[in-house]
Amino acid sequence: MAVETRLYDVLGVAPDASPEEIKKAYKKQSLASHPDKNPGDDTASQRFQEVANAYETLADPDARASYDMYGEGGGPGGMPGAGFDMDDIFASMFGASSFGMGPRPPRRAQDSVIPYEVSLEDMYNGRTAHFSLEKNVVCGHCNGSGGKPGAVLKDCVTCGGKGRYLQQRHAGNGLISQTMATCTDCEGRGKKYREKDQCKRCRGKRVVGAKAKLCLDIPRGAYDGQRIVFEGEGDQLPDTQPASIIFELKQKPHDTFQVKQLDLLATVRVTLSEALLGFSRTVLTHLDHRHIHITRKQGQVIRPGQVDIVRGEGMVDQRYRDHKGDLFLQWDIEFPTEAWASSVDAKALEALLPPKRPVLAPPEDLLEEVTTAPGHLDDFGSHIGTKQQEDQRNEHDDDEPNVQCAQQ
C-alpha cells in the first residue's frame, strides 16, 4: 500500500495500476497539456511538467517501489527516477516529440500585455498615440547562435546537457516535492558556448537590445478592455515566432458621462422653474465638443428621477459606423434654497401651485408629532441590533471556545 498517492492522482490512476495503465494515462495527460498545444498557457506548461515528473517516477519499477514505500522523499535509495531523460521518454512513447504530426512549429515568445488608460473622449472620437520602446531582437552578428564563427557548443555543466534538472522542495511533514525546472545557465538548451567562444556583441545571449516606435490607433467607438495587437512587434528569440505587443485599453472615469455597451448616460440638473415651465438651452457638452441644446415647452413637466433618451447620440459601433447607441439623460431637479422659500410671498406662490393634500384627522391617542433632521441614504442600515452584533462577532470568533465559568 502506497504511503502517499499524489503522483498517481496527477496521472489519474489508482495506486495499483499496471505499467500499461500508467503509460496510457501519461500519454493522455501529456497530449492534453503539452506546451505546443497550449501556447502561452503557463498553467498547462506547469501541468505538463507535473505529469512528466509523475511518469518519470512511476514508470521505473525501482523508483515506483521506493515512492510507494517512502513517498516523494525517495527514502534510502535517493532521488527516484533521476536517470530518466524526458525527451527520450516522450520520443519512445509518441514516435517523435511532435506526436507524429510533422516538424514541430517554432515556439512563440512571450507576448507583452500593456494596460493603457484612455479618456472617454478618445474612445468616442478616436486618436493616434505614439510610443517608443525597447525590445530584444536576434543578434545579427552571430545570427542568433550566441557564438563566434566555428565555435562548438559544449554540454551545460549545471544540467549535464539535459536543459532541465530535478528540483526538490520541502513540502512539510518530512515530505519533499520534486519538479522539473528549466536550467537557467543554458536557458533550457542543454548546451552553451564557453566564455571565450561567445559572440562579442550579444555575449552568448543570442539577442541584443533595440529601439522601436509604434503608432497606436485608437478607433472611434473603442471600449474598456479592448485589446489592440501588434503582431510580431515584441521580443524576439532564435528559432521562435516573435512575440506580440498587446495594448489593453482602460477607460478613465468621466465627470459627465457613464458608458455601457454603446449607450451613454449623463445627469442634467434643472431648476424647479425649468422642470415646471420648460426651458430652451444647452444642457451639456458632448464628447466631441458639440453643445447639446434642448427645448421643452410649458406643460412638459420633468418629474424627479425621470429619464429621457436622445436617439443616436451614443457611442459608434466599430464594425458598422452608421450604427450608434443612445444618449440617456437623467434629470436632477434643483429645488430652491431655504432662504428663497422663507422670503417668497407664500400666499402668492400657493395660489400658483397645485393644492396641498387634505389633512386627515386621526384619533388623538394615535397622533405622534415628530421632528425631522437632514439625512442621507448612505446611513440607511447603519444601526445594528445588539443580537446582530453578537452574531457577527461569533462568526469571527469561531476558533475561540465559548468558555463559561462553573458555579462554585
Task: Give the pLDDT confidence score for residue 255 in this predicted structure.
Answer: 93
Q: How many CA atoms lie within 13 A of 57 on its CB side?
A: 32
Whether the predicted pLDDT of 65 surpasses 60: yes
pLDDT in tens, 183-199: 877 777 888 888 888 88
Q: Is the pLDDT of residue 335 over 80?
A: yes
pLDDT for 67 equals: 78
* Residue 207 CB neighbours (<10 A): 18
Which region among 46-50, 96-100, 144-148 has the lowest average model confidence (pLDDT)? 96-100
Mean pLDDT of all residues in 395-406:
53
Residue-wise DSSP of 358-377 = PPP---GGG----------G
The CA distance from 286 to 290, in Å, is 5
Provide the H-helix boundaries in 59-176: 61-70, 86-94, 120-125
Range 157-167 average pLDDT: 77
Whole-angstrom Cα distance, residue 61 to residue 81?
Answer: 9
Q: Which of 85, 20, 15, 35 is nearest to 56 (CA)?
A: 85
- Do 316 and 220 form a contact (C-beta atoms < 8 A)? yes
Q: What is the rounded CA–CA span in Å between residue 67 and residue 4?
A: 8
Q: What is the mean pLDDT of the chain?
A: 79
Q: Compute the average pLDDT of residues 317-326.
A: 84
Report the pLDDT value the prediction gives residue 328, as an integer from 0 to 100: 92
Helix, strand or coil, per DSSP, at residue 85: coil
The residue length of the chain stands at 408
Query: Which grid coordinates are listed for 309?
Result: 433618451
Burial status of residue 255 (CB atoms within 10 A of its CB: 0-12, 13-18, 19 or more): exposed
The predicted pLDDT at position 106 comes to 57
